[in-house]
């Protein structure tokens, strides 16, 4: 039960984080090609074509040999990966905290149950 609640909490927070990141760097797609909107880059350069790597990631298309990406796309991927790694670190510390809190609550509950049984036996 705790795992389900924990999974729901993590999936909700991960969804919120990904939505926040997507707002910072929106993805443009026409069903066949995907590309990221880049701030400060001329729009005609961005719209000239998608990246084979983005197509492989978002459309789950197999890559053909070597995939070449522009520096700006590589920088966006690197930024997203680093943001996700930071979020994973924060989530792990939260999970560790909640595990400790659950353990403390479990021990306290067991102590209270023991006290109730002792009182019921007339002790």
Residue 64 φ then ψ, to 5°? -105, 100
Q: How far is CA 20 from CA 15, 55, 75, 116, in A?
A: 9, 22, 18, 49
pLDDT-above-70 percentage for the chain: 56
Per-residue pLDDT band for 39 (boundaries 50, 70, 90) equals low
Specify the pTM.
0.45
Is it the case that residue 47 has pLDDT exceeding 70? no
Over residues 73-100, the pLDDT tens digits come to: 788 888 888 899 999 999 999 999 999 9
Please, which pLDDT band fits residue 69 given cuts at 50, 70 and 90? confident
């Amino acid at each position: 039960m705790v795992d389900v609640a924990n999974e729901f909490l993590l999936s909700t927070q991960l969804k919120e984080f990904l939505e926040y990141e997507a707002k910072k760097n929106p993805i443009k797609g026409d069903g066949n090609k995907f590309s990221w909107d880049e701030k400060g880059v001329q729009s005609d350069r961005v719209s000239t074509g998608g990246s084979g790597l983005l197509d492989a990631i978002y459309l789950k298309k197999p890559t053909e040999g070597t995939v070449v990406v522009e520096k700006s796309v590589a920088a966006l991927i690197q930024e997203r990966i680093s943001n996700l790694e930071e979020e994973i670190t924060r989530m792990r510390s939260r999970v560790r905290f909640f595990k400790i809190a659950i353990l403390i609550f479990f021990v306290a509950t067991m102590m209270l149950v023991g006290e109730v049984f002792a009182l019921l036996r007339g002790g």
